[in-house]
Structure 1
Amino acid sequence: MTADARPEAAPVPAAPARGPHGSPRLAYLRYGAGKVGGAAVSLFAVLVTGFFLFRLIPGDPVKTMTGGRPVSAGQLAAYRAEFGLDLPLWEQFTDYCGKALTGDLGTSYQFRAPVTEKLTEALPPTLLLTGTAFVLYTALGIFLGTRSAWRHGRPADRLHTGLALTLYSLPSFWLGLLLIIVLGVGTGPVPGLFPTGGMESGEQEGLGYVLDVAHHLVLPVFTLVAVEYGQTLLVTRSALLDEMGEDYLTTARAKGLRDDLVRRRHAVPNALLPTVTLIFVNLGRTVIGVVLVETVFSWPGLGGLFYQALSVPDLPLVQGLFLFFAAAVIILNTLADLLYPLLDPRVGR
């Protein structure tokens, strides 16, 4: 075979074009690093804000700790020195920030115990309350939101939407007080059906204890669910309505799929993307909103502890709780930002 008859070498395929940010993985890492860096800056801003904000509260925490008993000026000075309140404000601030970065949030004035210890004690009741309410109002909001969107304009849709908007606009503490009056204390022919406060009766063990705690959970959980499910319903409904006009749903129907299957297998999964982000945001909002609900129902969690500390004011405990609540919101929002590009590749590219 001559050189001229030799077959030509196959052309080498060109490398796939890359976007201005390189590979998708690198783009996501840059996106995630920006979100995590922003969260770190926000946490530091919360640390600074919490220190100075609560020092504007009127009252002398040292005098409050004495319980109104007559004490000498020397004793008051000793208390201030014990808790570092005699130091200049800038020195208190640097000492607080340095210890907070190592996990030391100080010592509670009224409990004479580390703030982290009090947070650890009050956290399980709050997680029980918020976790139960969160699961219920998320499931209820998604279910009713999909049903309302698929039957939009019908009486059931108008009923669900109107009720959700009404309950969402109600203050949680007002609704809680109303439920205590109607279902706790009882009014007219309606007897008191549920406990008005606390987490347990203190007289049960085993299964009886579990049922007793569940009985005490009903009113505070109902309050949170009633106030919070509306937003999930409205967002799910709106997202699903946007999907219902897409061509792929028409194609699915043309293939002979039942309407229920079209909704469950095709429309709902794509419409849930905004709802997934909202779920994380709502969980952070619930952690903050539980302060009022726990106070109304005397629930022994972080919310009741915050109200108790604020009335002193117990500065280390208030600052620690404020940092915890803010950190929960920031971290959950950051997780939502990091998760969304995994669900929708168009985000973060």
Structure 2
Amino acid sequence: MDIRTALILGAVVLVAGAVGVAAVPGALDDPRVDDPPDRPSHLSVGDVVVEPNEVGGATADLDMKLDLEHRGGAAENVTVRYRAIDDTSGLLVDETTVPVGDIEPESTDPTDRERPTEHTVNGSLAVDREGGYQLEAVVYEDGTRQTTQSTSVSGVSALTPSYADSHVGFTDGDIWPTVSVSVREADDGTATLSTSAAVTNGGDERSENLELRVLVRQADSNVVADDATETVQAIRPGRTATVDTTVDVPDGYNYYIDVALWDDDVLIDETQSVANLDPQETIDANETVESVEFAVEDFAEDDVADDAADVVEDEPVDDVEDVEDEDAPGFGVFAAVLALVVAALYARRLV
């Protein structure tokens, strides 16, 4: 083989090798350099909001809105589980799991991946309209718990059912009476009472016709002496109407005046007054009813990834000593007297 033929064969071999290297991905990569590892994902809870939705006579739906924060690499198969646990019995009342799916980083830049992105996850829990509950939100990634948020709600019974939700109610004034009672006429042991109730429309629209019912109960026997019903005409927004009724009762007794507003046989508001017709004894309206309000406490977060244990600090030693001193008052005086007695006995022996 001559030199020219050898050169041609060498060139062919070099071209074929270059084509093979280009066709094989990663053939030119340095085997000593490892691929950069995927950054782990990090999930946390930014905020959780609880608000009532549909409220019925026996149950209430509580909506939970969770702001899920994501940093780092992709998070796979993310789910959020919501649970409601009865405060008194500790029993599980309701549970729902909301699938979120895979959460991909919005940027390939490492710096951008450290900036959290938020994803809102909505869920709903149905609870009985009474007592209080512990609400829990647990975030899972591919079946592994990542973080937990919990809170408690109280006063669920104070939520007004949808069918009884009305902007019309009795006026709660500081000076002007909600219900005023006067004696219109008294004859032959019978007194005619005139009641005047102030009703306010606190809504933005004109109200529909309602029904006002008055029940008069004798204070000692609780026997209903008389009752009356009057139609409450439509009230303009922000206005107060006065509704008058009359009842006839035996004279010389004291009475409770129970007044209620009804909308298609649904009780929407009630109040009470008194009529003191007994000159020797008076009564007051029942004011022992305790007001209950719906309340949601702040959420507490338990980050499972950090696995940080709570540290309980011991009480200072000085405080313990102070408590012991308070539990044994006069101990120093007793010791002094005992020392004097011992000293006297010892001196007597010396004599």
Q: Which has the larger radius of gyration?
A: 2
Which structure's residues are more often strand, by fraction? Answer: 2
Bigger proportion of residues as helix = 1
TM over 0.5: no
Larger relative contact order (CA 8 Å, sep ≥ 6)? 1
